[in-house]
């Protein structure tokens, strides 16, 4: 029995000694977790893959475990991972949700890394939104401006020129909404918006109209400014479009985009991501892209890249390497070409993108126009309460349409509720 | 060997029950780990002001603020009312439809096996797939239902199924009934097959008609099965999340927001896990009360 114990002890000591000797090898075999909803997205997904490939080439023995999580389940999954103490080392979040994670102290202050690496974020689109309590906790990966896509054939058939303002847009939408097969159900729509689903997307769709009417949710100081004549006008326009069924009802954003690409919707206001969907649609040859008839166009920050704070120092260095590759001039240039989107870096070369994407200059112009007008989907002063705010705006707008309420009264209700949410 | 290495003689009559406890221990420990522990954590969180919960965080001060807020919140009472309506409508419809189809396929006729298969089929369809199918059937612009209603002249303009509170509730209830009735049907069919044929033969001799045989023989004999099934259906509606979440997300205007949807929204959309835990605890209490009341009505079995 004694000899058995002796063997066990000796064996254990030998195992520990061997493990210690192989520690550097284990460090070499490190894996960084990277969760993203963009994995299968044509264009931007390819760009992420190229960043990962470059990172793995530069860091032999270090692998990036790239996992896709659907956008609908993203916030829950990331919350669970962080709350369970197992966050992905490389953090990819939407620009409207990272604030909650930063507020918990889960995102590393990138200031020292930016300084040490000499990364110049001067003129980096949307980067101001990444400041949390005075510290940069992320790098903005996309700041976009909406484009206006229309089905030229449908407009020509009705003798309509592409609209350049709200009045023309409304007249065109009315004329283009019709029942083409006579079964009593409208099957062609003037425009298309998501009216079902999350508050965030609903808010973005609605903002196309409120911005053009001159309205803002909050002012530069974060004070709620919904009960204003401009916002009331914006809400009235939204009611006009939705209540009169100039847009198909109860569809998700993806379904609406597909309907437009297939020629069932005549006009669409959307971000740069609409173009790859158009290219796969039945009506791709009929669709033209132009500047939005609304001013300023809807725009804003989209998604961010950051670093989990509760990971070892050597892992943080590796994560920064990943961020450094993604934000390098070369990969920002590739981003423009592969993702057909406006790269946030002012140093990105866009010649290749212009050749591949005919309307690329327009994307840059609308992003700049939105940026110049200080437009963002996340209202200042309501960043932390964004989800609750967006849900409230969606519900009050739905109430306005379902119960046929006066936009003036709805704006007053929204103002009171938004102030209450802000005070929580 | 009788005493074993640990001196535990399980063959002794006074220790024979120990074997039972030992065999049960892994299951009990597993249940404690995956059900009882989270339950305690949930109750504990409901008495704290917690945004995003982490187990390694220090405990926040004890507070009843979550419950005070809950009981004064119109949204909570609305969710209770929606849950109650849904339970009433769906349970009743599931029981009637389930019993009806069970009686139908209990008869002998050509193609009975196929009929039984069709009755049970919705139960086998994964919930999310069923929901997606129903979402398209009731699509406001291109759905089958509006076309059928318009073709039959029942409506003169399309119904916005997911933008109208009453219509959205009807869609959710219909989907739940379609998904839930086969379970009742299967349970009732099993119950029907256990009723001795002699009862019916004797009743026929006494001149009882079909209705009298149903009321005086079938239903009393099915009562224990129906009691258990009703409780299970009710609890399923209480906790079901995916049907409502995928179809309507609780909207429009909270017309389909049940307690489970409200819990999820508060926890994962608004990151108020303390408050969400309080809703979860109250839902649990409601479930226990409802199950207890139903158990009293089915004393023969439970």
Query: What pLDDT does A152 receive?
Result: 96
Query: What pLDDT does B5 receive?
Result: 58
Q: Is B39 exposed, middle or buried (0-12, 13-18, 19+ CB in 10 A)?
A: middle
- Please indicate whether, in this complex, the C-beta atoms of A185 and B53 are within 8 angstroms of each other: no
Task: Extract the tokens encoding B170.
Answer: 């009807």
Model confidence at A19, in pLDDT bands (50, 70, 90)?
very low
- Please indicate whether, in this complex, the C-beta atoms of A104 and B51 are within 8 angstroms of each other: yes
Using an 8 Å CB-CB cutoff, list chain B residues near A76. 268
Instruction: Evaluate the CA torsion angle A136, A138, A141, A144 in order and state its sign.
Output: negative
High-pLDDT (> 90) share of chain A, %: 66
A198: contact with B, CB 8 A cutoff: yes
Model confidence at A18, in pLDDT bands (50, 70, 90)?
very low
Model confidence at B233, in pLDDT bands (50, 70, 90)?
very high
Most confident stretch, A167-171, A379-383, B38-42: A167-171
Q: A338, A349, A305, A356: which is closest to A50 by C-alpha?
A: A338
The larger pLDDT score, comparing residue A99 to residue B10, is at A99
Section A83-90 average pLDDT: 91
Query: What pLDDT does A9 receive?
Result: 52
- Tens of pLDDT, residues A356-384: 888 999 999 999 899 888 888 889 899 88
pLDDT of A16 over the 50 cut: no
pLDDT of B6 over the 80 cut: no
Distance from the Cα of A62 to chain B's closest Cα (Å) equals 29
Using an 8 Å CB-CB cutoff, list chain B residues near A243. none
Section B81-94 average pLDDT: 96
Among chain A residues, the shortest Cα distance to B264 is held by A76
Average pLDDT, chain B: 89
Query: What pLDDT does A399 receive?
Result: 96
SS3 A356: helix
- C-alpha angle A118/A119/A121, rounded to 5°? 130
- Please indicate whether, in this complex, the C-beta atoms of B160 and A249 are within 8 angstroms of each other: yes
A100: contact with B, CB 8 A cutoff: yes
A185: contact with B, CB 8 A cutoff: yes
- Please indicate whether, in this complex, the C-beta atoms of B147 and A401 are within 8 angstroms of each other: no
Model confidence at B292, in pLDDT bands (50, 70, 90)?
confident
SS3 A1: coil
Q: A110, A68, A60: which is closest to A88 by C-alpha?
A: A68
The larger pLDDT score, comparing residue A282 to residue B55, is at A282
- Please indicate whether, in this complex, the C-beta atoms of B253 and A186 are within 8 angstroms of each other: no
Section B218-240 average pLDDT: 91
Query: What pLDDT does B19 receive?
Result: 82
Helix (H) or strand (E) holding A206: helix A199-212
Domains, chain A, in order of start with CATH, read: 31-143+301-362 (3.40.190.10), 145-299+380-423 (3.40.190.10)
State the residue for tokens 């690496």: A117
Domains, chain B, in order of start with CATH, read: 17-46 (no CATH), 74-297 (1.10.3720.10)
High-pLDDT (> 70) share of chain A, %: 93
Query: What pLDDT does B140 receive?
Result: 84
Query: What pLDDT does A287 receive?
Result: 96
A391: contact with B, CB 8 A cutoff: yes
pLDDT of A197 over the 90 cut: no
Residue of A182, A250, A382, A402 to mutate, testing the B interface (most B Cβ within 10 Å of its Cβ):
A250
Instruction: Evaluate the CA torsion angle B157, B161, B164, B167 in order and state its sign.
Output: positive
Distance from the Cα of A197 to chain B's closest Cα (Å) equals 7
- Tens of pLDDT, residues A26-67: 445 789 999 999 988 878 899 999 999 999 999 999 999 999
* Non-local CB neighbours of B5 within 8 Å, separated by 6+ positions: none
- Please indicate whether, in this complex, the C-beta atoms of B253 and A195 are within 8 angstroms of each other: no
Using an 8 Å CB-CB cutoff, list chain A residues near B268. 75-76, 79
Model confidence at B45, in pLDDT bands (50, 70, 90)?
very high
Among chain A residues, the shortest Cα distance to B161 is held by A250
pLDDT of B2 over the 50 cut: no
A86: contact with B, CB 8 A cutoff: no
- Please indicate whether, in this complex, the C-beta atoms of A250 and B139 are within 8 angstroms of each other: yes
- Tens of pLDDT, residues B135-189: 999 988 788 999 999 889 888 888 889 989 999 999 999 999 999 999 999 999 9
Using an 8 Å CB-CB cutoff, list chain B residues near A187. 141-142
pLDDT of A24 over the 50 cut: no
- Please indicate whether, in this complex, the C-beta atoms of B253 and A402 are within 8 angstroms of each other: yes
- Please indicate whether, in this complex, the C-beta atoms of A248 and B53 are within 8 angstroms of each other: no
- Tens of pLDDT, residues A232-275: 999 999 999 999 999 998 888 888 999 999 999 999 999 988 98
Using an 8 Å CB-CB cutoff, list chain A residues near B161. 250
Residue among A82, A184, A250 minimizing CB distance to B140: A250
Model confidence at A80, in pLDDT bands (50, 70, 90)?
confident
Rg (CA), chain A: 25
Query: What pLDDT does B75 receive?
Result: 94
Q: A269, A263, A279, A286: which is closest to A43 by C-alpha?
A: A279
Model confidence at B9, in pLDDT bands (50, 70, 90)?
confident
Residue of B54, B148, B171, B252 to mutate, testing the A interface (most A Cβ within 10 Å of its Cβ):
B252
- Please indicate whether, in this complex, the C-beta atoms of B165 and A251 are within 8 angstroms of each other: no
Give the A window 27-56 contacts with B, CB below 8 Å.
none
pLDDT of B102 over the 60 cut: yes
Distance from the Cα of B181 to chain A's closest Cα (Å) equals 27
Question: Considering only CB atoms, which residues of chain B are within 8 Å of chain A?
Answer: 51-56, 139-142, 146-147, 150-151, 156-158, 160-165, 249, 251-254, 265, 268-271
Inter-CA distances, B29 with B16, B19, B21, B33, Å: 21, 16, 12, 6
A79: contact with B, CB 8 A cutoff: yes
- Cα–Cα dist A391/A389, whole Å: 5
A183: contact with B, CB 8 A cutoff: yes
SS3 B17: helix
End-to-end CA distance of chain A: 67
Q: What is the ipTM of this complex?
A: 0.82
- Please indicate whether, in this complex, the C-beta atoms of A250 and B150 are within 8 angstroms of each other: no
Distance from the Cα of A388 to chain B's closest Cα (Å) equals 6
Interface size between A and B, measured as CB pairs under 8 A: 84
- Tens of pLDDT, residues B175-210: 999 999 999 999 999 999 999 999 999 999 999 999
Among chain A residues, the shortest Cα distance to B163 is held by A250
Query: What pLDDT does A20 receive?
Result: 43
pLDDT of B302 over the 60 cut: no
- For the ranges A159-173, A215-229, B225-239, the lowest mean pLDDT is seen at B225-239
A85: contact with B, CB 8 A cutoff: yes
State the residue for tokens 């916030």: A75
Among chain B residues, the shortest Cα distance to A81 is held by B54
Using an 8 Å CB-CB cutoff, list chain A residues near B163. 195-196, 249-250, 398, 401-402
The larger pLDDT score, comparing residue A167 to residue B157, is at A167
User: Backbone phi, then psi, for B52, in 5-degree steps?
Assistant: -105, 125
Residue of B146, B163, B167 to mutate, testing the A interface (most A Cβ within 10 Å of its Cβ):
B163
- Please indicate whether, in this complex, the C-beta atoms of A249 and B162 are within 8 angstroms of each other: yes
Query: What pLDDT does B8 receive?
Result: 67
A71: contact with B, CB 8 A cutoff: no
CB A142 within 8 A of CB A301: yes
Query: What pLDDT does A22 receive?
Result: 42
Model confidence at A4, in pLDDT bands (50, 70, 90)?
very low
Section A56-80 average pLDDT: 91
Residue among B140, B251, B268 minimizing CB distance to A76: B268
Query: What pLDDT does A304 receive?
Result: 95
Within 10 Å of residue B235's Cβ, how many Cβ atoms?
Answer: 15
High-pLDDT (> 70) share of chain B, %: 95
């Amino acid at each position: 029995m004694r000899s058995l114990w002796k063997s066990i002890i000796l064996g254990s000591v030998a195992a520990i000694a061997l493990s210690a000797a192989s520690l550097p090898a284990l460090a070499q075999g490190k894996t960084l977790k990277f969760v993203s909803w963009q994995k299968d997205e044509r264009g931007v997904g390819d760009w992420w893959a190229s960043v990962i490939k470059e990172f793995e080439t530069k860091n032999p023995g270090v692998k990036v475990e790239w996992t896709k999580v659907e956008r609908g389940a993203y916030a829950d999954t990331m919350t669970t991972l962080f709350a369970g103490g197992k966050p992905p080392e490389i953090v990819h979040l939407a620009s409207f949700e990272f604030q909650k994670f930063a507020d918990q102290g889960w995102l590393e202050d990138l200031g020292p890394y930016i300084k040490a690496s000499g990364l110049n974020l001067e003129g980096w689109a949307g980067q101001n939104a990444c400041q949390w309590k005075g510290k940069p906790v992320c790098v903005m990966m996309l700041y976009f401006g909406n484009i206006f896509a229309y089905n030229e054939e449908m407009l020509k058939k009705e003798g309509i020129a592409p609209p350049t303002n709200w009045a023309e847009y409304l007249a065109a939408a009315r004329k283009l909404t019709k029942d083409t097969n006579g079964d009593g159900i409208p099957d062609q729509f003037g425009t298309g918006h998501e009216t079902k689903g999350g508050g965030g997307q609903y808010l973005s769709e609605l903002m196309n109209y409120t911005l053009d009417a001159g309205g803002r949710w909050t002012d530069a100081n974060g004070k709620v400014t919904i009960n204003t004549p401009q916002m009331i006008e914006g809400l009235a326009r939204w009611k006009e479009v939705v209540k009169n069924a100039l847009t198909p009802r109860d569809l998700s954003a993806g379904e609406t985009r597909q309907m437009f690409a297939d020629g069932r919707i005549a006009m669409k206001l959307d971000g740069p991501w609409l173009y790859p969907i158009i290219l796969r649609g039945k009506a791709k040859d009929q669709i033209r892209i132009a500047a939005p008839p609304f001013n300023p166009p809807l725009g804003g920050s989209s998604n961010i890249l950051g670093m989990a704070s509760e990971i070892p120092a050597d892992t943080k260095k590796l994560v920064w390497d990943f961020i450094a590759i993604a934000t390098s001039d070369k990969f920002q240039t590739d981003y423009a070409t592969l993702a057909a989107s406006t790269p946030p870096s002012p140093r990105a070369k866009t010649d290749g993108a212009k050749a591949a994407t005919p309307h690329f200059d327009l994307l840059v112009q609308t992003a700049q126009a939105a940026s110049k007008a200080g437009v963002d989907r996340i209202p200042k002063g309501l960043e932390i309460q964004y989800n609750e705010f967006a849900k409230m705006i969606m519900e009050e707008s739905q109430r306005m349409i379902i119960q046929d309420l006066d936009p003036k009264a709805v704006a007053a209700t929204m103002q009171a509720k938004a102030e209450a949410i802000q005070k929580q | 060997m009788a005493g074993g290495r640990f001196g535990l003689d399980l063959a002794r009559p006074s220790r024979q029950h120990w074997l039972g406890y030992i065999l049960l221990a892994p299951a009990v420990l597993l249940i404690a780990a995956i059900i009882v522990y989270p339950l305690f954590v949930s109750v504990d969180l409901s008495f704290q002001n917690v945004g995003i919960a982490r187990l390694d965080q220090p405990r926040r001060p004890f507070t009843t603020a979550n419950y005070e807020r809950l009981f004064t919140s119109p949204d909570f009472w609305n969710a209770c009312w929606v849950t109650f309506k849904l339970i009433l409508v769906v349970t009743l419809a599931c029981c009637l439809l389930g019993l009806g189809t069970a009686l139908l396929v209990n008869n002998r006729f050509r193609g009975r096996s196929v009929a039984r298969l069709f009755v049970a089929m919705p139960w086998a369809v994964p919930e999310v797939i069923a929901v997606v199918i129903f979402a398209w059937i009731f699509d406001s612009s291109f759905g089958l239902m509006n076309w059928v209603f318009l073709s039959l002249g029942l409506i003169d303009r399309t119904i916005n199924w997911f933008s109208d509170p009453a219509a959205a509730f009807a869609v959710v209830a219909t989907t739940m009934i379609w998904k839930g009735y086969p379970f009742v049907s299967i349970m009732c069919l099993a119950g029907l097959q256990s009723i001795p044929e002699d009862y019916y033969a004797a009743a026929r001799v006494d001149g009882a008609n079909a209705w009298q045989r149903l009321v005086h023989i079938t239903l009393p004999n099915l009562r224990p099965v129906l009691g258990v099934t009703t409780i299970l259906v009710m609890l399923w509606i209480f906790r079901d999340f995916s049907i409502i979440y995928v179809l309507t997300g609780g909207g429009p205007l909270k017309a389909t927001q049940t307690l489970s949807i409200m819990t999820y929204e508060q926890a994962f959309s608004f990151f108020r896990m303390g408050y969400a835990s309080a809703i979860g605890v109250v839902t649990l209490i409601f479930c226990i009360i409802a199950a207890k009341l139903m158990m009293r009505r089915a004393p023969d079995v439970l």
